[in-house]
Amino acid sequence: MAAVNSFGAQSTLTVGGTDYQIYRIDKVPGHERLPYSLKVLLENLLRTEDGANVTKQHVEALGSWDPNAQPDTEIQFTPARVIMQDFTGVPCIVDLATMREAMADLGGDPQRINPLAPAELVIDHSVISDVYGSAGAFDKNVEIEYQRNGERYQFLRWGQGAFDDFKVVPPGTGIVHQVNIEYLARVTFTREIDGVLNAYPDTCVGTDSHTTMENGLGVLGWGVGGIEAEAAMLGQPISMLIPRVVGFKLSGQIPAGVTATDVVLTITQMLRKHGVVGKFVEFYGEGVGSVPLANRATIGNMSPEFGSTAAIFPIDDVTLDYLRLTGRPDEQIDLVKAYAQTQGMWHDPAHEPEFSEYLELDLSTVVASIAGPKRPQDRIELTSAKEQFERDLQNYAQAANPAKVKDANGTEYTIDHGAVTLASITSCTNTSNPSVMLAAGVLARNANARGLKAKPWVKTTLAPGSKVVTDYYEKSGLTSHLEELGFYLVGYGCVTCIGNSGPLNEEVSAAVNENDLAVTAVLSGNRNFEGRINPDIKMNYLASPPLVIAYALAGSMDFDFENEPLGQDADGNDVYLREIWPDPVEVQKIADSSIDSGMFTEKYASVFDGDQRWTSLPTPDGDVFEWDAKSTYVRKPPYFDGMPATPAPVSDISGARVLAKLGDSVTTDHISPAGNIKAETPAGKYLQENGIAPRDFNSYGSRRGNHEVMIRGTFANIRLRNQLLDNVEGGFTRDFTQEGAPQSYIYDASQNYQAAGIPLVVLGGKEYGSGSSRDWAAKGTSLLGVKAVITESFERIHRSNLIGMGVLPLQFPAGENADSLGLDGTESFDISGVTELNEGRTPRTVHVTATHENGTVTEFDAVVRIDTPGEADYYRNGGILQYVLRSLAA
């Protein structure tokens, strides 16, 4: 907490007879005109002011925020808690486990290594829809999930018992973001610090981009890379610029028959067109009060799709009603209200804060929509979906190409371009929203009553975000109607959005590939990028859950719901979608009668316990993890090998060679390992040498806890273009330790350089490291032996992550780049002036001498991008984990 309290903001709030220490933002001039989101940041700075990383000047800068200025003031944000999913969370826990061993090696107490901010991990990214369309699908998919991921789950279960303030939600429970809003989110956080009970806004960063779903509850947070998540868990702040805030005014009411999904697709299109990358979006105005919390969460969830950092709603009575519905205790609800009103964070529709930019939507103008075929922002009004599909199809196929298919039962049918081969009710975006989930059930009931069936070539899956959905489906009697159309429960997890849709029907898959058909998927998700949903499916569409049902009945995207019947009833009458579309009044009545707070209380009472599969996992005991030398999923990383208690002095870099020379806009997707592992690559060879057959490779994502796999996949993207080579794509370089500097895999060359004691540098262009922030883009760079990255400009988070892994980020002089300086990557590099850091100051520039193969020399002063005192401490220690470990050991 604040060691300085320059503004005298420390105060006491008494609620229900309990005293809470708070930091009042009304002590800062200018606070009253700030948007809600910046008030949350202002409180954060007041509470963490230490005179070094957070200063009086930082607080004043936020209080005097100029909404029209471009962001240029860096601040340190300290989130209240961290949330993780299993793919991205495993490396964080691997690092904590490794720190425990290192603490013991330094003579300290391993039990001192614990998350210093509460951390929760939900296992939701590993279930795949292998089995579907039958009553036992859920149990079979969970069984397969445990077989595939048993090693990872054993490790996480050990962590659940070994670490304080770390909890794991076991597989088969729910999607991380839905569990977050229904149970984990506090809205107002409380924590005892030095014997004093503090209350402050619940802020939460997560290792998944859709963490922003919590913004619907008024919880400020967003997705971060694993390194920032680890930093936050270990009590370290996250660097950020004070952002521009886009005010989004809502007015009017959603028309009957229009869903929350239609609203969010409309907002996504508007905001992507406006341009909100790196900005906060904040909703305000008279219309906010009429937006149900579930709809707010749906909108917040899609923040990554429209590009903003956060998309937040302030706290009001709707927030409190949702907390009540989901079984939060009365004391917590009373505190949320009292705190928000005391701090001026309660939504007042009559008060308009200042914003950087303004947009407005009259909700009454929203119409039924889908989005696709490859981007969430490409909204299509349902009435023109058939025409738009026919236009878009020209980018994927030419003439019609019908294929005859015979299924396992001997039934023959014909499919063509546009056939809906996957209809999936899935994803955190929509499955947390009872209005659209119940509408899907009612549509299924109405369709069954008229004798309609899903087309036989459609794979139908239902993957809710929490078990509460199953409860209210059962109570409302809608489960059987969904199952009659083939929508059986396949799992509680992300599933389709992240590509875990599983295989299509064998005969459909064969027909699609043999005839090169451009078939489609319709999913109630948030991501529909090319190649993401299923390898057989070229065109993917986002839609509300009831529209997913409708497209399963239609069987094709080449369909006009207005004028074409879905089929005929028993009397031979045509049945149109409008005749069976759910009545919103009935949907609301069903919600009122089938959903109650007891469901949430019951389902979440044992949310961390797990089923018999979880509790029977053979899990090691003890404070320090027993690493399995044979494991190919979880390995002890080498970050602390031989680390002394006191950091060695920082040294200059001499005789370095270039591992990669890269162009502009190289993203973390180019750098970070992702996707499938190919047998002929270094990662594939490593797995085969360790007895893993290619069919069992799994993905880079599932093996993020094994640094040996991940190093071998760093800079290995098949689209990477290393300019050390001519017209070669992929993870290759030239190896100057070998005669003639032949082409080599980047990993293999790096091993040779490290064996020879030669440091490495990477040269880059503009916006180096943009895209989603990913921990392994920095971890892999460091473990490959790269000591410095020299670019024209950095994406902010990747720059920070490089420092967090002990890599020096440098920029070419303004207006210069590698090409203008005549550097082709064959040079040897000396970097001097780095040692100034040993004297407690950060040099503004360092001197770089590049010696060409012919002996000529290029010299320039590179700008040092260590931007804060905290970052300098991290670099001096060799990285953030080493800094924290030494601090705790001392």
The pLDDT, as a whole number, for residue 675 is: 79
The pLDDT, as a whole number, for residue 774 is: 79
Residue 464 corresponds to which tokens in the numbers above?
A: 């809710």
The pLDDT, as a whole number, for residue 228 is: 86
Q: Give the integer Cα–Cα distance in Å for 880 and 865.
A: 16
**Residue keyed to tokens 């949907």:** 587
pLDDT in tens, 135-181: 999 999 999 999 989 989 999 999 999 999 999 999 999 999 999 99
Which string of DSSP letters, residue by residue, matches 589-623? HHHHHH--HHHHHHHHHTTTT--HHHHTS----SS
Q: Give the integer Cα–Cα distance in Å for 119 and 138.
A: 28
Q: Which of 187, 223, 461 is nearest to 331 (CA)?
A: 187
Q: Is the pLDDT of residue 85 over 90?
A: yes
Give me the domains of the chain, ranges plus CATH numbers. 81-365 (3.30.499.10), 369-595 (3.30.499.10), 653-889 (3.20.19.10)
Q: Where residue 124 falls among pLDDT bands split at 50, 70, 90?
A: very high
Contact 865, 790 (CB under 8 A): no
Contact 818, 797 (CB under 8 A): no
Q: Which of 650, 302, 635, 349 is nearest to 497 (CA)?
A: 302
Q: Give the integer Cα–Cα distance in Å for 727 and 544.
A: 44
Q: Is the pLDDT of residue 1 over 80?
A: no
**Residue keyed to tokens 């696709």:** 372
Q: Is the pLDDT of residue 772 over 80?
A: no
pLDDT in tens, 827-854: 999 999 999 999 989 999 999 999 999 9
Q: Which of 495, 491, 265, 217 is nearest to 380 (CA)?
A: 265
Q: Which residue has the higher pLDDT, 695 or 555?
A: 555
What is the length of the chain? 890
Dmax (CA) of the chain: 90
CA 174 to chain centre: 16
Q: Is the pLDDT of residue 346 over 90?
A: yes
| Share above pLDDT 90 across residues of the chain, in percent, rounded to a whole number | 85
| Share above pLDDT 70 across residues of the chain, in percent, rounded to a whole number | 100
Q: CA angle, 353 as apex, 352 and 354 as ends, to 5°?
A: 120
Q: Is the pLDDT of residue 464 over 80?
A: yes
Q: Which residue has the higher pLDDT, 356 or 305?
A: 356
Q: Where residue 306 falls among pLDDT bands split at 50, 70, 90?
A: confident
Q: Give the integer Cα–Cα distance in Å for 541 and 161.
A: 42
Q: Is the pLDDT of residue 786 over 70?
A: yes
The pLDDT, as a whole number, for residue 773 is: 64
The pLDDT, as a whole number, for residue 439 is: 97
Q: Give the integer Cα–Cα distance in Å for 733 and 874.
A: 30
The pLDDT, as a whole number, for residue 404 is: 94
The pLDDT, as a whole number, for residue 640 is: 95
Q: Is the pLDDT of residue 885 over 90?
A: yes
Using DSSP's 3-state secondary structure scheme, residue 279 falls into: coil
**pLDDT, mean of residues 567-590:** 97
SS3 content of the chain, % helix, strand, coil (to 5): 40, 20, 45
The pLDDT, as a whole number, for residue 679 is: 95
**pLDDT, mean of residues 570-595:** 97
Give the CA distances from residue 643 to residues 92, 99, 104, 640, 879, in Å, rounded to whole numbers and listed in that order.
Answer: 19, 11, 12, 5, 12
Contacts of residue 279, Cβ cutoff 8 Å, sequence gap at least 6? 243, 244, 245, 246, 308, 309, 356, 357
DSSP 526: S
Q: Where residue 669 falls among pLDDT bands split at 50, 70, 90?
A: confident
The pLDDT, as a whole number, for residue 867 is: 87
Residue 723 corresponds to which tokens in the numbers above?
A: 């300019």
pLDDT in tens, 640-663: 999 999 999 999 999 999 999 999
Average pLDDT over all residues of the chain: 95
Q: Give the integer Cα–Cα distance in Å for 614 and 64.
A: 52
pLDDT in tens, 227-282: 889 889 988 898 888 999 999 999 999 998 899 999 999 999 999 999 998 899 99
Q: CA angle, 654 as apex, 651 and 655 as ends, to 5°?
A: 155
Q: Where residue 879 falls among pLDDT bands split at 50, 70, 90?
A: very high
- Backbone Cα Rg of the chain: 28
Element counts in the chain: helices (H) and strands (E): 30, 33
pLDDT in tens, 716-744: 988 899 999 999 999 999 999 999 999 99
Q: Where residue 123 falls among pLDDT bands split at 50, 70, 90?
A: very high
Which string of DSSP letters, residue by residue, matches 458-483? -EEEE--SBHHHHHHHHHHT-HHHHH
Residue 227 corresponds to which tokens in the numbers above?
A: 């390194």
User: Inter-axis angle of helices 880-889 and 226-233, to 10 degrees?
Assistant: 10
The pLDDT, as a whole number, for residue 603 is: 94
**pLDDT, mean of residues 774-799:** 94
Q: Is the pLDDT of residue 34 over 90?
A: yes
The pLDDT, as a whole number, for residue 869 is: 83
**Residue keyed to tokens 């190289």:** 666
- As to burial, measured by CB atoms within 10 angstroms (0-12 exposed, 13-18 middle, 19+ buried), residue 377 is middle
Q: Where residue 2 falls among pLDDT bands split at 50, 70, 90?
A: low
